[in-house]
Structure 1
């Protein structure tokens, strides 16, 4: 064997000499569909709820916290202009943004110009849809032409793209107004970025979790109508849990990632972070669609009817997810489902080493940012402890290539396992980080809706962690003061069937009755 090693080393060095941009995809691509999968048929036009009150509140904060469904109706009727709504959010950003450290870049002049253009179209009788004139925040992983897109990391803080990401073009075509770039934990990990630490609006002593840290924080604090997040392994659901927002992680491949920073080509997903369930459906409708610029893009219909009946739905839960570690809000959420008259059944998953799949994430992430490791630019990242990216990238160099292939085969076994589970039930409910579902469903590409279910009184929590092959939400300080903070619940659905979990989520949102509560931020 020793005589053969030199050739292998030479080949590796030759490959390293070829520069590979972050935008260069892998030749192989992940597809969540098994051979037996059948794409759901289109079921007619999208149907959203009827608009609420026609009169606009006098208090700007009541306008700022209104759901997109209501804001859209006010703008369409002429009761509210996009320019006024944009100014309300810009004022809140100026007042609260520095406290929350949730905006990496604010684009006020662009926002005003886009708002004025939206108002002009309406005066001309042109309405581009439910996002027409609605201001939003964009996670600072997505390219915006001529605007710094720094990925939250020191080596890229001066990076200015020459083109817009696909989803930026889609949102502009839908009439949405870009307020600025929301913060992202450096290279899509946690809530620490080159400008500081993004804060949880419900407790400014703790971070907002990540990596869609700024998107969740800004949305929860009423600094935008909605925001865009991404998830590789918890980056939509975790900050939504911490900040009390509603996050929708769509099926892998449904939304284009072209023009977005790649962390893990076979795992990255793009989705909305909002303050209500139906708002996530509105945003997903604008983002949905195939894109030749993303090799993993899948052409799939998106059906949503706000008034659809979920009678006959069979909802599963994993008993261990509601055992040790579950709290009162978790158990109350399960009881709320039963009150809706839905059949709730126990289910199980095969005993597989789901946590081992995280080595796939580590390997892909290390490959995406190999240049940082090989040039020592990783030393410039602020966060340097044992669980942060620099050391994770370094240790990934010691993963066995053979084991990596075997992990891919294990991933297929997990795909079969979840396919079997969803052949028994229409959806699954549970705490988002209890049991194997956060890891398993991210690696299989299944969609997940996370929504606020209640509140807990807990001490300031430590950092969430993805280290050592385990996931934690952070431990509360048992000795210090307590804070009333949101607690959410997750609903997982079948591939490309987001509509059914959104309908269930809307019903639970009404049952919980806590979605409209706001954080008591200092002025």
Structure 2
């Protein structure tokens, strides 16, 4: 899922011309549809939806003042709130007494010679960022040629994978030429100078369609750039186009079809950063940008075999990005290597007053940093039922690096219950779609899809929501205690409590390829009943597909996670394998 707080003025939400076919009038949105007001039977029925029970006398007491409560809600709904209006309250992942990681305030990447430029365009396209950056800096390849290689691959493979919503060849070549002119003048803007990338289509791009993957917004053209677009441009990166996302940042179904996994095009790429995962895995860009609310970087990285870094909440500005959940949305790089993610994050990092949740915190990374002394833990329950042989092999590989890996634990808390916070914020972000009945225009209408989820969220209790926020604080304390004893936690991203817990606490996560499994074609991901599923495998022929492992770290301590990730990536030696479609 995904992101907030656009700096531009987004196009207004679509206005309905009447109730959708088959949908009964809403007596709350339209009080005239129910002139009598709520009765005792209505209260009793509502109790069943909320999981509470009142006595007949208690119900009778409510009758005199419920109408005022409803009228207040209806009056508030008369104020239309566009997607860029933030919440007044804001989430801060730091607990009292938080201390930033004790590390030198510098960023240093690999200084090794990138070697000779390959003869094959495909080999160039799949090269890691340190080599691409080295070739450009040395004049071995121009940004224009590199951009042309990726544009040709997009033209050939993009339609098969349905991973680009919009391609911007003229803009890309113009930006590449600008980078080359600077190179000739002896100016290099940094590690992404002249490097072409794909941008998830929920980030505003001035004059370029930004459709959020959803039919009601498919013609939306913003008049400003998102904050990270400006940062990437200032760093010399080249925008190839907008990668697809599942509608409103959920799954891989969008108004242009289903984004496909390059390892098995019969199945979806997972989501919601579906196009970013698919395009990067297939070598259609050097790197891409994804977002995560609950699994939207890690899940497509798992499915497509890419390496994704979900930074600490607040590290990267979300200004100019579609808001799904203000207290959860995070922005991060999706790449083909661990150091690549560090290079991209070094450009994205930085405070921004346009994002109320932005936190000013330096990014520390040293490619030469060793892993000696790192304290590594794992949750035994995460390696129980549901874990694969690849997961267990990855844990052993960490031990083989000479590190002591010990079992750790988290308190027994209902972590999955926190997902109701996501439902409530997402339903609020797109309330107009529900109240105007324009949610019916979205293609994906299954039980787990957003339209149904938004409707059900109207029945969530506000009291429970406050209590969930307090539970969230307990979970923050639990993870704070965990990372006081260890530096990095290793485990499967889906089993165990960490996918939910770490997203709600804002802790960073690196997901990298760890091996391969043979699997039949898998179905769509789903989010419901307090858990996320990446899709069940159907019967049929199997395909060799990638499998990843996750590393979590302390708040704003991505450096430790990246150090272990680089060492593990080298030990596993599976990052260079390419999907058959490539």
Q: Which residue of 1 aligns with 2:387?
A: 326
Matches within 5 A, 1:137-286: 137-286=198-347
Secondary structure of the residue aligned to 1:229 is strand
How far off its partner does 1:54 sit? 3.1
Deviant stretches of 4+, over 4 Å: none
Task: Please tell me the root mean square deviation across aligned C-alpha atoms, in Å.
Answer: 0.8
Choose the corresponding residue for 1:352, options 404, 413, 416: 413
**Residue 153 of structure 2 is aligned to residue 92 of structure 1:** yes
Matches within 5 A, 1:476-487: 476-477=537-538, 479-487=539-547
**Residue 550 of structure 2 is aligned to residue 490 of structure 1:** yes
Q: Which residue of 1 aligns with 2:477?
A: 416
**Residue 456 of structure 2 is aligned to residue 395 of structure 1:** yes
How far off its partner does 1:40 sit? 2.7
Q: Which residue of 1 aligns with 2:564?
A: 504
The unaligned stretches of length 5 or more in structure 2 are 1-61
CA distance in 1, matches of 2:532, 2:172: 38
Instruction: Tell me, yes or no, if the aligned pair for 2:418 and 2:472 is still in contact at 8 Å.
Output: yes
Q: Which residue of 1 aligns with 2:15?
A: none
For 1:294-337, what per-residue CA distance to the aligned partner results, in whole angstroms no more than 9, with x for missing partners? Answer: 00000001010001112111101000111111111001001100
Q: Which residue of 1 aligns with 2:78?
A: 17
Instruction: Tell me, yes or no, if the aligned pair for 1:164 and 1:259 is still in contact at 8 Å.
Output: yes
Choose the corresponding residue for 1:382, options 443, 456, 473: 443
How far off its partner does 1:420 sit? 1.0
Q: Which residue of 2 aligns with 1:110?
A: 171
Instruction: Tell me, yes or no, if the aligned pair for 2:105 and 2:363 is still in contact at 8 Å.
Output: no
Q: Which residue of 2 aligns with 1:101?
A: 162
CA distance in 1, matches of 2:176, 2:516: 36
Secondary structure of the residue aligned to 1:481 is strand
Choose the corresponding residue for 1:134, options 189, 195, 202: 195
- Give me the TM-score of the superposition, normalised by structure 2: 0.89
How far off its partner does 1:44 sit? 3.5
CA distance in 2, matches of 1:471, 1:184: 17
Instruction: Tell me, yes or no, if the aligned pair for 1:42 and 1:302 is still in contact at 8 Å.
Output: no
How far off its partner does 1:463 sit? 1.2
- Give me the TM-score of the superposition, normalised by structure 1: 0.99
How far off its partner does 1:51 sit? 3.3
Which structure has the larger Rg? 2
Instruction: Tell me, yes or no, if the aligned pair for 2:552 and 2:561 is still in contact at 8 Å.
Output: yes
CA distance in 2, matches of 1:280, 1:226: 8
**Residue 137 of structure 2 is aligned to residue 71 of structure 1:** no
Q: Which residue of 2 aligns with 1:515?
A: 575
For 1:234-265, what per-residue CA distance to the aligned partner results, in whole angstroms no more than 9, with x for missing partners? Answer: 00000000000000000000000000000000
Instruction: Tell me, yes or no, if the aligned pair for 1:54 and 1:79 is still in contact at 8 Å.
Output: no
CA distance in 1, matches of 2:496, 2:279: 29
CA distance in 1, matches of 2:328, 2:389: 32
Pairs aligned (count)? 521
Instruction: Tell me, yes or no, if the aligned pair for 2:262 and 2:581 is still in contact at 8 Å.
Output: yes
CA distance in 1, matches of 2:209, 2:112: 37
Which moves more between the two structures, 114-123 or 34-43? Answer: 34-43
Which moves more between the two structures, 141-150 or 6-15? Answer: 6-15
CA distance in 2, matches of 1:484, 1:177: 33
**Residue 507 of structure 2 is aligned to residue 468 of structure 1:** no
Secondary structure of the residue aligned to 1:480 is strand
CA distance in 2, matches of 1:103, 1:123: 31
CA distance in 1, matches of 2:346, 2:483: 24
Higher relative contact order (CA closer than 8 Å, sequence separation 6+): 2
CA distance in 2, matches of 1:151, 1:420: 38
Secondary structure of the residue aligned to 1:150 is coil
Secondary structure of the residue aligned to 1:143 is coil
CA distance in 1, matches of 2:418, 2:113: 46
The unaligned stretches of length 5 or more in structure 1 are none
Instruction: Tell me, yes or no, if the aligned pair for 2:114 and 2:130 is still in contact at 8 Å.
Output: no
